[in-house]
A and B are shown apart, each in its own frame.
Chain A
């Protein structure tokens, strides 16, 4: 449309608009020019985005609702309303909106990715995995889709497939800290300990505040015989964060492996002080007390672990060891049999070697 025509159009419109107030206005020659249309949907949509960014999800939802009332085929509004529903944990509504967005914009990887997130949050991991796959089919360069699918596969125990996904994430985004971290964790699960260490290191380079990487690298280092390095990592972690019983428990285990049993006991003490119901720490302290030949203490600690978790096979086994040394052979036999009944077959071997009678017939329970 020629500019003059536009001006004319708007001029007429402006004149009509202003004629209603002509009695007050002394201006009788007014020419408006290129004033836009109302764009209510777009404005509401953008307002929704602003609200979303401000984490005012209720307002965002209202705005996206308004946008869709004004413009029912407004695909981005469906997508962003879906994201808002996701933020509000209304997962079915989020999935429904992403469905609608995908109908209007088939093949949009962002909608697949968003729906995958909503499905994952709703506990529908297989559907989520499929959607992440669709997102990657459309846009293989989108690192978060690789990463998120890798996480799902990791949690399913499909470590080789997870490794491939984390590889994809790192390739798509060489600065993807979490992808390095979780690839390392996958290698840890796969027993590729040597490969895990550099990935944890890379994650720490990218994000020094990612403290769990220190704990996990320490675990990998313990497996590769780098006990000194592992202890350094635990120390570094615990220097920065002193309220994590897991960290104390795991450093205790490293010290145990380092044959520093007194040091291990001190760490388990700290873990128990932080979390009195931490059965692992009680069991592990029992193990360290065994090494220190404090058999009565070991017996007491393992008993407490079993009080907290009556089906704790390792605690049964360790208590069996303690009771053997306390010359309570019959009780030791019972504990080893209980450990075996709970899955630690070696318990039966110990019992047999000690000349115990046959395995306990009843199901294992703590005493």
Chain B
């Protein structure tokens, strides 16, 4: 139950928030409790409508009545549209937007006029994209008017407004860098102040104001302001001195407005609302301006001449007129030589457009012109443009850009001779009231900030790498020698023997040296420098010789070998290993290094003619036994063959191959297998 209640509350709330605002009529039903207030509001509505529906409409008069009625009922769509419309025709056009938006929320626009009004408000508030969308919904018919007495809104008007919005979108992307400062209460008043003109040095400022010229000043019957008068002020270093009216004879009971000031500040161009609007000139005599004189017929016509400016040298006058002959549409800018006779010359289509051009100003440099135009790439109403004289031709005007220009009218721009400052009037938030005069400080293109950084560009400076070139080591001969030492004894008695120890170079078969073991101790020591295949033969008379082999390569390091030698006497059954007999690997071919050993054997057989020997061959256990046996047999026979070939009777020699059957040490190591691969003889008779 509780859950159902919560859902109900939530849904109810959601519906309430999501519902569109309701249009509220000014009716007794709606305001049953506020009958008196309703009566008053209806009275205000009626008064407002009278002014609003007049021909021409008096928006300024209608607006306060409508706002009064709005206090009772802010939710009436029609009233909100009217208030918006009044604002759009006032000096504060941008204020229209919230009313028109509210009207849209209360009752969506259904007529081209409503769409157009909302689009204009959006446009004037620089809501470019929304404005375009709203303009696009406005398809005006022949009777679509903003008000009675005004020209119908055409499709061309709408297209032009859309173009202005697109210009605004582009220009707003690149705002110009300026300070725009209100000239302050010394210059501006709660009434509209506009049309500033300034001397080249910015010391003097004259402008037009709609403020009351005095306690009994008459109001302009065409609005709630007073007649235009010209005011003057001077720069005091930090701000302007309080402005004062020029008074008579410049200011009259009618409209008197500033138009232009000579660069030297000695001549003033004044707009006077006579003859449909003409340009007059006043000169400064001492501290007083003399009575303005109407400029000649080459300038003033029966049409509207609205503004003018002197050339830098005072010879020429640029002025604006809407005279149709020679014009390009609306007001155009003309140039005339003041003391000449030629008629004024239209500045041509580079400057003048089918729309209005206004408020011309020429810089003291003589080649920069500012003016306002509704054409070119205006973002709405009049925008201020700049053109430069190059080779006698004015360049394509350049929009001064956002935020100097706005969607509303931006006119009456003048600049100081330095170009650093400009002055114009604008209706923007924060003003003193109505249009105000603003000073623009041009900051120029953005001043790029400067960055700093450092680099670590040299690798070796950052991470040095050693590059020491050292001379290489020198060769130092080291003791590459094998020390062979031991004891020679009688194999049977173990008594020390003084034996001869022959050191033989097996490669050459030459005996290098013969040493002797100590007669008492039997000890011997022989140094064997590396790099030789040594045969060592220990011999003593009455004993069979004993041979050892030391094959020492050149790289052999120092070593000590202890070898005790047991010399055996010549007896049947004695076995002697012949360590210096060498065969080619796997073959029974005797190598030349065997010669010395074979010769010793041959000598033994020669010196002992009775002895008989069995030559025995042995192998290790690597390979097949039969093959080992065969190889050992053939090797034994090779030794026998050598001896018989050298004169020993074959009857004294036998050859036996034992293969791997009689190892002297286990075959488990490389060294062991080497010892087992041997050739030996056994004394079989003597």
Chain A residues in the interface with B (C-beta under 8 A): 3-4, 7, 14, 26-37, 39, 42-43, 45-46, 49, 52, 75-77, 79-80, 83, 86-87, 110, 113-114, 117, 144, 147-148, 151, 154-155, 177-178, 181-182, 185, 188-189, 203, 210, 212-213, 215-216, 219, 246, 249-250, 253, 256, 279-280, 283-284, 286-288, 290-291, 298, 314, 317-318, 321, 324, 327, 344, 350, 353-355
Q: Assuming A80-B471, A215-B456, A314-B452, is B420 touching A354 (CB within 8 A)?
A: yes
Partner of A147, one of B460, B473, B512: B460
Assuming the contacts A80-B470, A80-B471, A148-B467, asked whether A321 and B449 have C-beta atoms less than 8 A apart, the reply is: yes
Number of interface residues, chain B, beta carbon within 8 A = 55
Assess whether B474 is in contact with A29, with CB atoms less than 8 Å apart.
Answer: no
Residue of A nearest to B485 (CB): A27
> In the complex, how many residue pairs between chain A and chain B have their CB atoms under 8 Å apart?
170
User: Is B182's CB within 8 Å of the partner chain A?
Assistant: no
Select from chain A the residue with minimum beta-carbon distance to B420: A355
Of B239-247, B520-528, B674-682, the one with at least 4 CB within 8 A of chain A: B520-528
11 sample A-B contacts, Cβ–Cβ < 8 Å, listed by A number: A4-B512, A26-B523, A29-B501, A29-B517, A35-B479, A83-B468, A154-B457, A182-B459, A185-B457, A280-B453, A290-B449
Give the CA-CA distance A321 to B481 in the complex, in Å: 88
| Residue B19, interface by CB 8 Å | no
B476 to chain A, nearest CB (A): 5
Report the nearest A residue to B450, measured CB to CB. Answer: A314
Inter-chain contacts of A147 with B (CB < 8 A): 460
- Please state if A178 and B465 are interface contacts (CB–CB under 8 Å): yes
Instruction: Say yes or no: B449 contacts A286, CB within 8 Å.
Output: yes
Contact B459 A250 (CB under 8 A): no
CB contact under 8 A between A31 and B526, given known A52-B470, A185-B458: yes
Q: Please tell me if the beta carbons of A151 and B461 are within 8 angstroms of each other in the complex.
A: yes
B462 in contact with A212 (CB, 8 Å):
yes
Chain B residues positioned under 8 Å from A113 (CB to CB): 467, 469
Interface of A is mostly: helix
CA distance A210 to B516 in the complex (A): 70
Q: What's the Cα separation between A344 and B452 when bound, in Å? A: 13
CB distance from A37 to the nearest CB of B (A): 7
Nearest Cβ in chain A — how far from B226, in angstroms? 34
CA distance A284 to B474 in the complex (A): 59
Instruction: Let me know if B518 is at the binding interface, CB within 8 A.
Output: yes
B residues 150-165 with Cβ under 8 Å of A?
A: none
Q: Which B residues lie at the A interface, using CB under 8 A? A: 179, 418, 420, 443-444, 447, 449-463, 465, 467-481, 485, 501, 503, 512-513, 515-518, 520-521, 523-529
The answer to whether A34 and B525 touch across the interface, beta carbons within 8 angstroms, is: no
Q: Is the pair A86, B468 in contact by a Cβ cutoff of 8 Å?
A: yes
Q: How far is B459's CA from A260's CA once the two chains are assembled, in angstroms? A: 30
Cβ–Cβ contact B521 & A178, under 8 A: no
Q: Kindly list chain B residues whose C-beta atoms are within 8 Å of the C-beta of A32.
A: 481, 527
The answer to whether A318 and B450 have CB atoms under 8 Å apart is yes
B-chain residues with CB within 8 Å of residue A45 when the two chains form the complex: 473-474
- With the chains together, A3 CA to B529 CA distance in Å? 11
Q: Which residues of B contact A287 (CB under 8 A)?
A: 449-451
Q: At the interface, is chain B mostly helix, strand, loop or mixed?
A: loop
Chain A residues contacting B450 (CB-CB under 8 Å) are: 283, 287, 314, 317-318, 344
Which B residues are in CB contact (< 8 Å) with A86?
468
**Distance in Å: Cβ of A97 to nearest Cβ of chain B:** 11
Known: A27-B485, A34-B529, A283-B451. A49 touches B473 (CB 8 A): yes
Contact residues in A for B459 (Cβ distance below 8 Å): 177-178, 181-182, 203, 210, 212-213
* Complex CA distance for A177 and B478, rounded to whole angstroms: 41
Contacts of A280 in B (CB 8 A): 452-454
By beta carbon, the residue of chain B nearest A74 is: B474
Cα-based distance from A39 to B525 in the complex (angstroms): 26
Given known contacts A256-B451, A286-B449, is B458 in contact with A39 (CB within 8 Å)?
Answer: no
Q: Which residues of B contact A256 (CB under 8 A)?
A: 451
CA distance A20 to B480 in the complex (A): 24
Minimum Cβ distance to chain A for residue B553 (Å): 14
What is the distance, in angstroms, from B446's C-beta to the closest C-beta of chain A? 9
Shortest distance from the beta carbon of A193 to any chain B beta carbon, whole Å = 13
B460 surroundings in chain A (CB, below 8 A): 147-148, 151, 178, 182
Among B444, B453, B512, B523, max chain A CB count under 10 A is at B453
Chain B nearest Cβ from A360, distance in angstroms: 18
Given contacts A26-B521, A28-B518, A318-B450, contact A37 B477 (CB under 8 A): yes
CB distance from B49 to the nearest CB of A (A): 48
Q: Which residues of A contact B525 (CB under 8 A)?
A: 27, 29-31
**B467 with A27: CB separation less than 8 A:** no
- CA distance in complex: A280, B454 (Å): 9
The answer to whether B524 and A29 touch across the interface, beta carbons within 8 angstroms, is yes
Give Cα distance in the complex from A263 to B473, angstroms: 58
9 tightest CB-CB pairs across the interface, nearest first? A36-B477, A76-B471, A287-B449, A185-B457, A33-B529, A314-B450, A178-B459, A280-B452, A110-B469
